[in-house]
Amino acid sequence: MGHKVYVPVTAEFDADGNIMPVALTWLDGHVYEIDRILDVRRAASLKGGGLGLRYTCRINGRTTHIWLDESRWFVESKRGIN
C-alpha cells in the first residue's frame, strides 16, 4: 500500500499565474531538481489518498507525480513517515 507524504516544494509562478514546481525536498533533506514537467491535470491519488492538481514530472530521468492539493504538495511513496 502507498503512503501520502507531504513535501516542501520550491515553485515558480509564471506570468499567467500558473504555478510550476521547480524542486522538491525529500524526507532525508535531499533536494531533487525537477528537469521537466510533462503533464498537468486534476487527478485523484488512489495510492496516497486524496486529490489535487497532478504534475507529472521528470526527475533524474524518472517520471514521477506531485500533487498540489489546495496549498500543500504531496507525493505517493512506498514508505510513510515514521
Partner 1 sequence: MPRIILHSDCNGFYAAVECLYRPEIRNKPVVVGGDESLRHGVVLAANQLAKRIYKVKTGEALIHVRQRCPDLIIVKPNHKLYLRFAKLAREIYNDYTDQVEPFGLDESFIGLTGIAESVGDGERIADTIRERIKYELGITVSIGVSYTKSFAKLASDMRKPDFTTVIAPDEFRQKVWPQPVGDLIYVGAASAEKLRLHGIHTIGDLAGSKREDIISWIRNKNGGLLWDYANGFDSSVVRQFEECMNDDSGIKGFSHSTTTPRDLCNADDMKVTVMVLAEAVAARLREHKRLSKTVSLWLRDNKMSAFTRQCKTAAPTNLAYEIAETAMKLYHACYGSLGNPGSTLLPIRSVGVRASDLVREEEYYQLSFLPKEHKRQNIMAIERAMDDIRERYGHTAISRGVLIRDRALGSDNPKEDHIHTFPNCQGA
* Residues near partner 1 (CB under 8 A), total: 13
Site string (39-78) toward partner 1, x via CB under 8 A: --xxxxxxxxxxx---------------------------
53's grid cell: 492538481
CA 66, chain centre distance (Å): 2
| Using rule CB under 8 A, residue 80 touches partner 1 | no
Site string (15-44) toward partner 1, x via CB under 8 A: --------------------------xxxx
State residue 67 phi and psi, 5-degree precision: -105, 140
Q: What angle do CA 65, 15, 45 make, to 5 degrees?
A: 20
3-state secondary structure of 8: coil
- Residues binding partner 1 (CB under 8 A): 1-2, 41-51
